[in-house]
Structure 1
């Protein structure tokens, strides 16, 4: 579930292994590039942390962030179970 912390939408994701986490990041990268809205993220082994805010709006949460978060949620809903 996305939470708003320090003017950012934040969520952590856990996957079966590094490969699954990296595949997720690759898929999110494609979505983010198409939206021209790029996340801050980190990855350690099977965990991915994403933080969304809009730099052009003063690093606060905007509708662009909510749309990207929704697209990420949809990606996860539609992925086949490992």
Structure 2
């Protein structure tokens, strides 16, 4: 579930292993590139955290962030 944290949408993901986590990041990277809207994220082993916000709009949550989050349910 996505939550609002410090003017961004945030979600934690857990995967079976690093390979599965990296495959997810690759899929998200392709979506991000098409939308020209890139997340801030961290990955450690099989765990992954993603933060979505719009830097050009004073680091706020914009409609595109919600669309991006919805595409990564």
Structure 2 residue aligned with 1:69: 69
Q: Which has the higher contact order (CA 8 A, sep 6+)?
A: 2
C-alpha distance in structure 2 between counterparts of 1:20 and 1:63, whole Å: 29
Secondary structure of the structure 1 residue equivalent to 2:68: helix
Q: Which runs of 5+ in 1 are unaligned?
A: 74-82
- The 5 Å alignment of 1:38-49 reads 38-49=38-49
Between the aligned partners of 1:33 and 1:67, the Cα distance in structure 2 is: 14
Give the CA RMSD over aligned residues.
0.4
Pairing of 1:9-48 with structure 2 (within 5 A): 9-48=9-48
Please give the secondary structure, in 2, of the residue aligned with 1:4. strand
Name segments (4+ residues, structure 1) moved above 4 Å. none
Unpaired segments ≥5 residues, structure 2: none
Q: TM-score, normalised by structure 2?
A: 0.98
1-structure distance, mates of 2:58, 2:33? 20
